[in-house]
Amino acid sequence: MKYIKQFGIILAVTFAGEVLKYMIPLPVPASIYGLLLLFLLLTFRLVKLEQVKEAGLFLIEIMPLMFIPAAAGLVTSWTQIKGILASLCVMIPLNTCFVMIAAGKVTDYLIERRKKGHE
Amino acid sequence: MNEFFQDSVTAGVVISLISYLIGMEAKKRWKLPILNPLLISIVLVIGFLLIFKVDYNAYNNSAKYLSYLLTPATVSLAIPLYQQMELLKKNVVAICIGILAGVLTSLGSVLALAVLFHLSHEEYVTLLPKSITTAIGMGVSEELGGYVVITTAVIIITGVLGNMIAELMCRVFRIRHAVSRGIAIGTASHAIGTAKAMEMGEVEGAMSSLAIVLSGLCTVVGATVFASFY
């Protein structure tokens, strides 16, 4: 019963996200609206943590599995990728590393600075 | 075999699950960063489909139930984020500026490489949303006139790569705080990277989830501006 209710709440919020996506003409997916909505519901205690916790954490734990079908689907877009494959092979790794370093280092620096400011 | 997959409601899920279990076992046994369970499972599934001549659509006929759970799972990322509320409030400025720095780096480096490789404008805008979550990225690419299929592929490859290198990058480049590690992973490699951040720790996972949302929204605006540069 507990899990039915928890999963039910998560699906209801997901559904509300789909409604928002339908109404707002922006390239923002239902999942992002749902995430923000659930965060607000938790913040304002309209939904309690215990009412979604286990089912939500279960879904998060098995999340890597959910990417396999889409990634295996890369076989179907092979003919289209082939054309710019060389530039992709350089670009994707470089870009991914740069972004990780920039976002991580800037956040690190600002956290350190705030801590020093407090001292 | 193809026909069997076409009719089965579990075959695709079972193949995906077994591949992932093999991936986890391989990682446990050899402990090499290249042996990423997600990468191994993708390679195994693609290999299986090619060897046994199973059509992707036949496989996806049942594997789609795994993808179905992705939206509610993404919604659930609000839970760890809520649990780290205090940490979020305390570091809100650092987090927002860090994500913005990541988004600008992503857009800027796509621009630089587009100039370097003489890409067409269509190819350039196809790659602009490469670091953000698939659903937003597809929308951005479509809006700007890119090739949506390639955008999707590049986003997935970026995510898997981020998932693979996250731990190594944080160590080599000495990203010290758990908050910063999460922000770095989520900004660079969206939900697929976040799956790795979740394994690294609660704080990393929560911050990575937040970075998916904020970097996605920043990129919607940023990509539109950057599209006019080249």
Task: State whether A46 and A81 are in the same domain.
Answer: no
The Cα B212–Cα B44 span in angstroms is 28
In three-state secondary structure terms, B176 is coil
The C-alpha of B174 sits at a distance from chain A's nearest C-alpha, in angstroms, of 8
Task: State whether A78 and A117 are in the same domain.
Answer: yes
The Cα A103–Cα A64 span in angstroms is 23
Total domains in chain A come to 2
Task: Mark yes or no for CB contact A59/B184 under 8 Å.
Answer: no
Task: State whether A99 and A75 are in the same domain.
Answer: yes
pLDDT at B214 over 80: yes
pLDDT value of position B149 = 86
ipTM, 2 dp: 0.91
The C-alpha of A8 sits at a distance from chain B's nearest C-alpha, in angstroms, of 10
Residues of chain B neighbouring A49 (CB-CB closer than 8 A): 79, 82-83
Task: Mark yes or no for CB contact A107/B154 under 8 Å.
Answer: no
| H-run or E-run covering B182 | helix B178-200
**For the segment B68-112, what is each residue's pLDDT rounded down to a tens digit?**
998 999 999 999 999 999 999 999 999 999 999 999 999 999 999
Task: State whether A62 and A78 are in the same domain.
Answer: no
Q: How confident is the model at residue A119 (pLDDT cuts 50, 70, 90)?
A: low
Select the residue from B49, B61, B71 to test the A interface by mutation, using most A Cβ atoms within 10 A: B71
The Cα B25–Cα B100 span in angstroms is 37
Location of structure tokens 């979604």 = A52
| Cα dist from B100 to A107, B63, B175, whole Å | 10, 36, 17
Task: Mark yes or no for CB contact B79/A108 under 8 Å.
Answer: no
Measured at the alpha carbon of residue B209, what is the angle toward residues B203 and B213, in degrees to the nearest 5?
145
Judge whether A12 and A41 are in contact, CB under 8 Å.
no
Range of the domain at A84: 68-119
Judge whether B215 and B103 are in contact, CB under 8 Å.
yes
Which chain B residue shows the shortest CA-CA distance from A113?
B94
Task: State whether A4 and A39 are in the same domain.
Answer: yes
The C-alpha of B206 sits at a distance from chain A's nearest C-alpha, in angstroms, of 11
Select the residue from A50, A106, A107 to test the B interface by mutation, using most B Cβ atoms within 10 A: A107
Task: State whether A58 and A8 are in the same domain.
Answer: yes
Task: Mark yes or no for CB contact B180/A36 under 8 Å.
Answer: no
| H-run or E-run covering A30 | helix A30-43
Average pLDDT over residues B118-130: 93
pLDDT value of position A70 = 86
Closest to B105 measured CA to CA, from A111, A52, A97: A97
Task: State whether A75 and A47 are in the same domain.
Answer: no
Judge whether B135 and B145 are in contact, CB under 8 Å.
no
Task: State whether A32 and A51 are in the same domain.
Answer: yes
